[in-house]
Amino acid sequence: MKHLREKFLENSYERLMKIRSADVCKFIEKYAELCNPRNIYVNIGTPEDIEYIRKKAIEDGEEIKLKMEGHTVHFDGYYDQARDRKNTKFLLPAGVDYGKYIEWIERDEGLIEIHELMKDIMKDKILYVCFYMLGPANSEFSIPCIQLTDSAYVVHSENILYRQGYEEFLKERKKFTFFKFIHSAGELDERKTSKNIDKRRVYIDLLDNTVYSINTQYGGNSIGLKKLSLRLAIYKASKEGWLAEHMLIIGINGPKKRVTYFTGAFPSLCGKTSTAMMPDERLIGDDIAYLRSKKGKIYAVNIEKGMFGIIEGINPSDDPLIHKGLTTPGDVIFSNVLMSEDGEVYWVGSGRDCPEKGINYSGEWYKGKKDEKGKDIPPSHPNARFTISLRAFENLDPKFEDPNGVPIEGIVYGGRDSDTWVPVEEAFNWVHGIITKGACLESEPTAAVLEATSQREFNPMSNLDFLSVTIGRYIKMYLDFGKKLRKKPKIFSVNYFLRDKDGKFLNEKVDKKVWYKWMELRVNNEVDAIKTPTGYIPKYEDLKRLFKKVLNKDYKEEDYVKQFTIRIPEQLRKIERMMEIYKEIKDTPEVLFDVLQRQRRRLLKLQRKKGDYISPFELYEINVFQGTKKSFN
């Protein structure tokens, strides 16, 4: 390391030398030599460091100051606006095959390629060495991390999103496991965006707990501790018997000051952040959760302390808490929105009038601007984002920093589904829920991935893009995890995107609050439910009462019927789709096929008796279920 000493800025060398771990120093030395930066800055998270990074991001042109104090805007390249599925790959040892649903490359081949592309990639730049923690301080959940990057924007983002971890690296220990991330934006164009997109690569080495990300700036590809760390954590969890999930954590306030905690898995642009931010409820986290079994119950933590959220559609009416945070002075980064001439930002769905012109991810923008294919360029990208501290939100739960996590009583799965799932439904039991709600999750595609198509996408537990184990093994992890639980959380599905035949949504955005209030009552055994072939649904009278109490809305019987009709043809088609997919996955647990076949038989039996589409009121005469101990076979 001494031969690199002249490259270290200020007291950075001394900061690094305080760390006694040889593995840490070797890692940093190896990639400092390979990437060959002009200088090295060691960020340990002091207030001076944080301010230095903010200023460098602006000075280097990666961010632009806005009119409001503390606010900046960042632009990614026009073709660098989402996760790159095609070039995000796991490095697997020879003979290991994860199947067609997970991108991978042979490890030796991938390492050779990525190291060749990284040679001198940071020339004439500063290498920032950063130390973070995934999770609260002094917690069994937490994992220390090192981020190496030449992007002040990435460091600025991670300073907002993650807890500083330098002190953890100073501790003396014999065995020290940490996650490693190396990122370079690569050569930049005149707009300070990544130039060599054809050489964009995101490679994950599971054997060495290392992620390589180059020639990209979009946060989902470049912010190492975001979804890149989730991939490493899933693999680690698979070996240690816990779960690393793409999940929100929220506390729902119940009667008599009771708080019931839920996790929820939703693909991007499917309502996950807006659910986590429901007014008058308790925010723990909106994106990534670690789940562990302790004394027979599930406990969960949010590994982040900030939010990297999709901004489209956020307005003071639908998302008042987020909107307030984004319009208050403080440390906020906007990305790929429209910056007006007076230094303010606009995004689609903000509830404001769009400026005639400005600057966005396409450069100079004006109304009517088109791309090379003649398609209108919107003022803000559909995947435009904001980065903000959770402490900016007044609904942050006091237990957010609890190192023990919060007890989870319910798990929720939801995606974009226009015609099959009802708005809210409870699974019969843990196995039924994991398989029919989680493992069979599908979603109509969104702008968060580059290769999105018009077809409904298979996305088990909303985690497919991040799985670092085979799909079959992942499902078995859940089933095995459930066996350790003395008290299993109830499992639910939700669907905010159900439409009628004319394409009109059958739910309003705010209705989700009622679904969660009903789930909170179900978890605490305070309301009955109607048994259907696919799970338990609410009774009309309970929803009518909740709509009035929670939203002061009159809930009509005709709306209940439209929303909670049992759609048997669509349900049967879904089962067939899932059976075909899982038949191709070699290590699928046999119980999955058994559970789906039994659900199919129940649907066919009801179809013969009642027809294709059954009003929930018709099921009243069959059975109103009052307990939760019987299984539905």
368: domain CATH number is 2.170.8.10
Domain check: are 382 and 317 in the same one? yes
Question: How many domains does the structure of the chain reveal?
Answer: 3
Give the model's pLDDT for residue 452.
Answer: 42
247: which strand partners?
265
Domain membership of residue 485 (yes or no) is yes
Domain check: are 251 and 291 in the same one? yes
Domain check: are 96 and 109 in the same one? yes
Which residues contact residue 304 at a Cβ distance below 8 angstroms, ignoring those fewer than 6 apart?
134, 161, 162, 225, 285, 287, 288, 390
Q: Are strands 210-214 and 201-205 parallel, antiparallel or unpaired?
A: antiparallel
Last residue of a domain, one of 376, 392, 408: 392
Give the model's pLDDT for residue 540.
Answer: 97
Q: What is the maximum alpha-carbon separation in the chain?
A: 81
Where are the alpha helices (H) located in 347-470, listed in sequence order?
430-433
Give the model's pLDDT for residue 622.
Answer: 60
Domain check: are 146 and 265 in the same one? no
Residue-by-residue DSSP string for 337-357:
SEEPTTS-EE-TTSSSPPPSE
Looking from the CA of 83 toward its CB, the CA atoms found within 13 Å total 21
Spatial strand order of the sheet with 357-360 comes to: 345-346, 338-339, 357-360, 363-366
- Asked whether the beta carbons of 273 and 304 are under 8 A apart, the reply is no
CB atoms within 10 A of CB 96: 13
**Cα dihedral angle (312, 413, 400, 550), rounded to 10 degrees?**
80
Domain check: are 94 and 157 in the same one? yes
Domain membership of residue 73 (yes or no) is no
Which residues contact residue 533 at a Cβ distance below 8 angstroms, ignoring those fewer than 6 apart?
566, 571, 599, 602, 603, 605, 606
- Asked whether the beta carbons of 481 and 243 are under 8 A apart, the reply is yes
35 catalytic per annotation: no
Q: List the one residue out of 587, 603, 418, 427 whose CA is nearest residue 503.
A: 418
Give the model's pLDDT for residue 271.
Answer: 87
pLDDT tens digits, one per residue of 594-632:
999 999 999 999 999 999 999 999 988 665 444 433 333
Last residue of a domain, one of 336, 367, 392: 392
Domain check: are 91 and 110 in the same one? yes
Give the model's pLDDT for residue 101.
Answer: 86
* Phi, psi torsion values for 211, nearest 5 degrees: -120, 130
Q: Are strands 490-494 and 406-414 parallel, antiparallel or unpaired?
A: parallel
CB atoms within 10 A of CB 38: 13
Looking from the CA of 208 toward its CB, the CA atoms found within 13 Å total 19
Which residues contact residue 440 at a Cβ distance below 8 angstroms, ignoring those fewer than 6 apart?
460, 574, 578, 596
Amino acid at 282: R
Phi-psi region of 343 (alpha: psi -120 to 50; beta: other; left: phi over 0): left
3-class secondary-structure state, position 162 = coil
* Phi, psi torsion values for 539, nearest 5 degrees: -80, 150
How far apart, in whole angstroms, are the C-alpha atoms of residue 197 and residue 525? 54
Which residues contact residue 20 at a Cβ distance below 8 angstroms, ignoring those fewer than 6 apart?
170, 172
Q: Are strands 289-294 and 243-245 parallel, antiparallel or unpaired?
A: antiparallel
Give the model's pLDDT for residue 146.
Answer: 98
The segments of the chain whose pLDDT lies below 50 read 447-454, 624-633
Domain check: are 225 and 260 in the same one? no
- Asked whether the beta carbons of 488 and 585 are under 8 A apart, the reply is no
Domain check: are 227 and 357 in the same one? no
- Asked whether the beta carbons of 437 and 492 are under 8 A apart, the reply is yes
How far apart, in whole angstroms, are the C-alpha atoms of residue 30 and residue 213? 16
Any idea what the CATH number is for the domain that residue 616 is in? 3.90.228.20
Domain membership of residue 67 (yes or no) is no
Any idea what the CATH number is for the domain that residue 219 is in? 3.40.449.10
Q: Are strands 143-149 and 126-134 parallel, antiparallel or unpaired?
A: antiparallel
Q: Are strands 306-310 and 332-335 parallel, antiparallel or unpaired?
A: unpaired
Tell me how far CA of residue 8 lies from CA of 1, 26, 56, 126, 311, in angstroms.
10, 16, 16, 9, 38
Domain check: are 526 and 483 in the same one? yes
Give the model's pLDDT for residue 621.
Answer: 64
Domain membership of residue 458 (yes or no) is yes
Q: Are strands 332-335 and 88-92 parallel, antiparallel or unpaired?
A: unpaired
Q: Are strands 71-74 and 332-335 parallel, antiparallel or unpaired?
A: parallel
**What are the E-state strand segments in 462-502?**
490-494
Question: Which element (helix H / strand E) includes 262?
Answer: strand 259-265
Domain membership of residue 158 (yes or no) is yes
How far apart, in whole angstroms, are the C-alpha atoms of residue 509 and residue 288? 23
How far apart, in whole angstroms, are the C-alpha atoms of residue 407 and residue 3? 50
Domain check: are 97 and 202 in the same one? yes
- Asked whether the beta carbons of 336 and 73 are under 8 A apart, the reply is no
Question: Which element (helix H / strand E) includes 319?
Answer: none
Neighbour-count burial of 120, counting CB atoms closer than 10 A to its CB (0-12 exposed, 13-18 middle, 19+ buried):
exposed
Domain check: are 556 and 579 in the same one? yes
Q: List the one residue out of 275, 249, 270, 243 whose CA is nearest residue 514.
A: 275
Residue ranges making up the domain that contains 142: 2-62+78-241
Domain membership of residue 69 (yes or no) is no
The residue from 35, 130, 145, 270 that is catalytic is 270
How far apart, in whole angstroms, are the C-alpha atoms of residue 614 and residue 567? 7
Last residue of a domain, one of 224, 241, 258: 241
Domain membership of residue 116 (yes or no) is yes
Domain membership of residue 569 (yes or no) is yes
How far apart, in whole angstroms, are the C-alpha atoms of residue 12 and residue 28? 13
Domain check: are 139 and 30 in the same one? yes
3-class secondary-structure state, position 288 = coil
How far apart, in whole angstroms, are the C-alpha atoms of residue 383 and residue 269? 8
Give the model's pLDDT for residue 628.
Answer: 38
Model confidence, pTM: 0.93
